[in-house]
Amino acid sequence: MTRHAHHKPIVVALAGNPNSGKTTLFNNLTGAHQHVGNYPGVTVERKEGHTRFEQHHLDIVDLPGTYSLTPYSLEELVARNFVVEERPDVVVDVVDATNLERNLYLATQFIELDVPVIIALNMIDMAEAQGLRIDAELLGQLLGVTVIPMVATTGFGKQELLEAIADVAAKHTKPTATIHFGNELEPHIAGVAELLDDSTLDDKISISPRWLAIKLLENDAEVIADISEHIPDADNLLGKVTRVREHVESILGEDAEITIGDRRYGFIAGACRRAVTTVKSRRIDVTDLIDDIVTNRIVGIPIFFLLMWLMFEMVFRLGEPPMGWIETGFDALGGLVTSVMPPGELRSLIVDGIIGGVGGVLVFVPNILLLFLAIAFIEDSGYMARAAFVVDKLMHKIGLHGKSFIPMLIGFGCTVPAVLACRTIDDEKNRLTTMLIAPLMSCSARLPVYLLLAGAFFPAALAGKVIFGVYIFGVLLAAVMALIFRKSLFPGETAPFVMELPPYRMPTLRGLLVHMWERTWMYVRKAGTVILVASVIVWALLTHPAPPPQIATAESEHQAASDAVAYSYAGRFSKALEPLIRPLGFDWKIGTSLFAGFAAKEIVVSTLGTVYSLGDTDEQDNTLRAALTSDPNFDPLVALTLMVFVLIYVPCIAVVAVVKKETNSWKWPAFLIFYTTSLAWIVSFILYQGGRLLGF
Amino acid sequence: MLATPDTPHQIVEIRGGRGMRRHLTDMGFVTGATVTVTAGHAGSIIVSLMDSRVVLGRGMAQRIIVQPLL
């Protein structure tokens, strides 16, 4: 008879350096049973999952990568707080065996913290390939913790790890080694620890006093803040600590925290000398070989541009056929509904509003899927970090640095994940600047507008080049705006960046798919929510109030449709605002679709369609193009101006919402709306009036 | 960091604010550690130290003082 385990679930924290394979291990352990949320109050993702092992339930939290328990960034702070404050039952420190000494730096701090910790010695297959032989058991003895050799990608060691987790959780096994910080420091650590022991610690701080003492001597801001909050007479204690620290520094001639760091590495080096042997001289590392070419100061940049070009080519070429299928599918769906339903409001709502609006978005899923797949490959393989290094010089010219390039690249797919990707930029000035210019990287939602307009008004040979030109113009404008923002809104030096380059790895299919899908899903969900609602609203505003039936027939079906729209709320509103956009060559019909585009850029085309031929049931491709070209107000210059306006003006509601969330204020989204719309107007004005003057 | 590429050097001193120095320590940059420049030039450079490769952005490299390994 099975006894139902009424144990509490074992809470396991997966910690470790970035690139140590934490997330691969997390995926391996939790499979589909995972869930991504947010840590309260901050924009750092919280990844939780669960799994079962024998009779145990394991709740696993994949912490952000961190180098130390004294945090340097928000993500490190989140990781640190989870371990120190939420007290998981077991910490699994994922250590990259090919980078052992640096990775163990964090491990030593878990040992100091005196919490149940297991070291998952990951990537031992690669370590072995490099000629390293690590005696895991001996290493474990020297560090005083269980060390499990693993290969997270294949699952090797998983069983042993799970057994160790269950064992350590049951026995609350703590590390048995102590790092000795030297005869000058140790007495002082003991002294401060004693002071802490004497004070009344409330049970929020049931933390090893020795760890607290070490952290205080390291001048750790979080610990100092915690102590101030929870210990009566904290000022006195902190004053004593300061005096001790100054005394120690005068003897050692160096900051206490630097000395403490040195001693940690010394301890690690000692352990590694005994537990690690090099069997053969290190083979030439493939990573170094590739890097020699790819980061070369002469060929590095051309290689980068070549790869980018290849990527876009692949995305557009491979994406064409499926896009065509989806488009045909939605047309067929619209046709089906039209033939099955009686004419009237409901049919119009479904066909023109919903199918038209949402279909226009979903058509682009293949394109976006492929782009994000390519980006995921570049990230997971390790090249992305090199690309950031290579473009850093260019980025620096506009006041940003290499890391800003990643969000900008993602922006070509959809601006929403691009804004979210800005989280990796530590420097606040750079982060905000990048967020503000990301919308200028023309997202895929704007492409249908370009395709329609360029296709209608420019000869086939020229159309593609015109569209490409618009994209490039967006990039150049982004560079200019970055410069302007960095000089005016966010002046000053930015913190120089330090970034690790992971070894090149062949991405796992699973990792790629997960990575790619996360961002694609944001786009799809945008369709299902914002765009659906917006399409319906726009449709409603364009069809109400309906004009009274005419007794005499109008000049043409187009004229009748146009009159109907003019009669509606949207039409009247746009006519009222027409004077504002006349100088750009736009009339009220264009104005209506631009207005609709505020909700989602995808709707601009469907609204244009509605404005020009509402009620036209012939779903021919050329209908809209013909309608546009036969409109006397519309000519190639107007078309080009409109493309540029759509490139620049206000990003869609989804982007505004995510900017608000990421900056925690209304100030920046409001500014974003203001500056993009003004900039669009100004640039379009210059383009249109200039063009007219030049005789186009 | 004035250093001949592809030649091991020893870190002698790390300048800068406490926070940055601590962060560098967390990543393995300590006095006495061996570091080799493997790529880069004016501005950002790539160095190899312990068993990792790290990009040091402009301004950062200048704060790490090294001498050739004797």
pLDDT value of residue A140: 95
Identify which of B22, B24, B46 has the shortest CB distance to residue A389. Answer: B46
pLDDT over threshold 60, residue A5: no
Contact by Cβ (8 Å): A110, A175: yes
CA–CA dist A208, A478 (Å, integer): 51
CA distance B10 to chain A (A): 14
Nearest to B18 by CA among A645, A213, A304, A261: A261
Torsion of CA A189, A194, A196, A201, to 10 degrees: 140
CA–CA dist A143, A135 (Å, integer): 12
Residue A536's Cβ-count burial label (10 Å; 0-12, 13-18, 19+) is middle
Domain that holds residue B33: 8-68
pLDDT over threshold 80, residue A304: yes
CA distance A638 to chain B (A): 45
Identify which of A296, A498, A503 has the shortest CB distance to residue B60. Answer: A498
Q: How many CB atoms lie within 10 A of CB B30?
A: 22
CA distance A216 to chain B (A): 14
- What's chain B's average pLDDT? 87
In a domain, A80, yes or no: yes
The domain boundary, picked from A171, A198, A229, lies at: A171
In a domain, B26, yes or no: yes
The rounded Cα B18 to chain-centroid distance in angstroms is 16
Best mean pLDDT range from A349-353, A371-375, A616-620: A371-375
Tokens encoding B67: 């001498």
Of residues A492 and A115, more confidently modeled: A115
In a domain, B51, yes or no: yes
Best mean pLDDT range from A348-357, A377-386, A486-495: A377-386
CATH of the domain at B33: 2.30.30.90
pLDDT value of residue A551: 46
Strand partners, A147: A119
CATH of the domain at A144: 3.40.50.300
pLDDT value of residue A552: 44
Comparing alpha-carbon positions, the chain B residue that sits nearest to A298 is B40
CA distance A278 to chain B (A): 13
CA–CA dist A564, A547 (Å, integer): 6
Contact by Cβ (8 Å): A10, A89: yes
pLDDT over threshold 90, residue A264: yes
CA–CA dist A25, A37 (Å, integer): 19
* ipTM score assigned to the predicted complex: 0.94
Range A279-289 average pLDDT: 76
Distances (CA, A) of A169 to A14, A113, A145, A346, A435: 14, 16, 13, 61, 43
pLDDT over threshold 50, residue B49: yes
Domain that holds residue A658: 522-693
Residues 6+ apart with CB under 8 A from A436: A481, A485, A668, A671, A672, A675
pLDDT value of residue A201: 55
Secondary structure class of A186 (helix, strand, coil): helix
CA–CA dist A586, A580 (Å, integer): 9
- What's chain A's average pLDDT? 85
Mutate to test the interface with B, among A292, A295, A299 (most CBs of B within 10 A): A295
**A415 shares a domain with A316:** yes
Q: State pLDDT tens for residues A358-400.
A: 776 777 788 889 988 999 899 889 899 899 898 888 888 888 8
pLDDT over threshold 90, residue A416: no
CA–CA dist B38, B53 (Å, integer): 9
Q: State pLDDT tens for residues A137-170.
A: 999 999 999 999 999 989 999 999 999 999 999 9
pLDDT over threshold 50, residue A615: no
Distances (CA, A) of B31 to A25, B11, B12, B25: 34, 5, 5, 9
Q: Is the pTM of this model over 0.90?
A: no
CA distance B64 to chain A (A): 12
Chain A residues close to B50, C-beta within 8 Å = 99, 101-102
Distances (CA, A) of A597 to A260, A282, A651: 58, 58, 9
pLDDT over threshold 80, residue A250: yes
pLDDT over threshold 70, residue A558: no
Given its phi and psi angles, is residue A9 left (phi above 0), alpha (psi -120 to 50 degrees) or beta? Answer: beta
Q: State pLDDT tens for residues A60-104.
A: 999 999 999 999 888 899 999 999 988 999 999 999 999 999 999
In a domain, A179, yes or no: no
Q: How many CB atoms lie within 10 A of CB A590?
A: 26
Of residues A607 and A468, more confidently modeled: A468
In a domain, B36, yes or no: yes
In a domain, A671, yes or no: yes
CA distance B4 to chain A (A): 15
Quick one: pLDDT band at residue A560, thresholds 50, 70, 90?
low
**A535 shares a domain with A395:** no
pLDDT cut 70: percent of chain A above it? 92
pLDDT value of residue A539: 77
**A199 shares a domain with A128:** no
Tokens encoding A542: 């364009």
In a domain, A508, yes or no: no
**A244 shares a domain with A306:** no
Range A556-576 average pLDDT: 74
pLDDT value of residue B51: 85
**A621 shares a domain with A673:** yes
Domain count, chain A: 4
Secondary structure class of A654 (helix, strand, coil): helix
pLDDT over threshold 80, residue A129: yes
Residue A499 and residue B21: Cβ atoms within 8 Å?
no
Nearest to A433 by CA among A482, A504, A385, A470: A482
CA–CA dist A206, A148 (Å, integer): 28
pLDDT over threshold 60, residue A205: no
pLDDT value of residue A323: 82
Residue A255 and residue B39: Cβ atoms within 8 Å?
no
**A312 shares a domain with A248:** no
pLDDT value of residue A559: 64
Residues 6+ apart with CB under 8 A from A508: A24, A153, A380
Chain A residues close to B54, C-beta within 8 Å = 498-501
Report how many helices (DSSP H) and strands (DSSP E) chain A contains, helices first: 32, 10
pLDDT value of residue A617: 32
Range A596-606 average pLDDT: 79
Beta strands in A139-248, from DSSP E residues, in sequence order: 146-149
In a domain, A291, yes or no: no
**A267 shares a domain with A354:** no
Domain count, chain B: 1
Residue A101 and residue B54: Cβ atoms within 8 Å?
no
Contact by Cβ (8 Å): A441, A371: no
Phi, psi of A585 (to 5 degrees): 90, 5
Secondary structure class of A62 (helix, strand, coil): strand
Q: For A638, how many CA atoms within 13 A lie in the half-sphere containing its CB?
A: 17
pLDDT value of residue A347: 80
pLDDT over threshold 80, residue A351: no
pLDDT over threshold 60, residue A216: yes
Strand order in the sheet with A56-62: A34-38, A45-53, A56-62, A10-16, A90-96, A117-122, A146-149
Residue A498 and residue B44: Cβ atoms within 8 Å?
no
pLDDT value of residue A2: 45
Of residues A598 and A125, more confidently modeled: A125
**A537 shares a domain with A399:** no
**A409 shares a domain with A539:** no
The domain boundary, picked from A230, A245, A278, lies at: A278
> Looking up tokens 């600590």, which residue turns up?
A241
Residue B51 and residue A99: Cβ atoms within 8 Å?
yes
Q: State pLDDT tens for residues A635-658.
A: 899 999 999 999 999 888 888 888
Radius of gyration of chain B (CA): 11
**A167 shares a domain with A195:** no
DSSP code, position A55:
T
Supply angle C-alpha A330, A331, A333, rounded to 5: 60
Q: State pLDDT tens for residues A20-55.
A: 989 889 988 998 777 777 676 666 778 899 999 988
**A482 shares a domain with A337:** yes
Mutate to test the interface with B, among A70, A260, A288, A501 (most CBs of B within 10 A): A501
**A137 shares a domain with A86:** yes
Quick one: pLDDT band at residue A537, thresholds 50, 70, 90?
confident
pLDDT over threshold 60, residue A587: yes
Distances (CA, A) of A434 to A362, A411, A509, A611: 27, 11, 30, 36
pLDDT over threshold 90, residue A274: yes
Chain A residues close to B40, C-beta within 8 Å = 295, 297, 389
Q: State pLDDT tens for residues B3-45.
A: 788 889 999 988 888 888 899 999 999 988 999 998 886 678 9
In a domain, A295, yes or no: no
pLDDT value of residue A100: 94
CATH of the domain at A260: 1.10.287.1770
Range A418-438 average pLDDT: 89
Best mean pLDDT range from A42-56, A80-94, A238-252, A559-573: A80-94
Phi, psi of A441 (to 5 degrees): -80, 105
Report the residue count for chain A: 696
pLDDT value of residue A209: 87
pLDDT over threshold 80, residue A554: no
Comparing alpha-carbon positions, the chain A residue that sits nearest to B24 is A498
Q: For A613, how many CA atoms within 13 A lie in the half-sphere containing its CB?
A: 18
pLDDT over threshold 80, residue A452: yes
Size of interface A-B (CB pairs under 8 A): 116
CA–CA dist A110, A117 (Å, integer): 7
In a domain, B54, yes or no: yes
Quick one: pLDDT band at residue A432, thresholds 50, 70, 90?
very high
Quick one: pLDDT band at residue A1, thresholds 50, 70, 90?
very low
Range A561-590 average pLDDT: 82
Burial A441-460 (b: 16+ CB within 10 A, else e): bbbbbbbbbbebbbbbbbee
Contact by Cβ (8 Å): A208, A114: yes
Q: How many CB atoms lie within 10 A of CB A640?
A: 24
pLDDT over threshold 70, residue A601: yes
Residues 6+ apart with CB under 8 A from A116: A89, A90, A91, A168, A169, A172, A173, A174
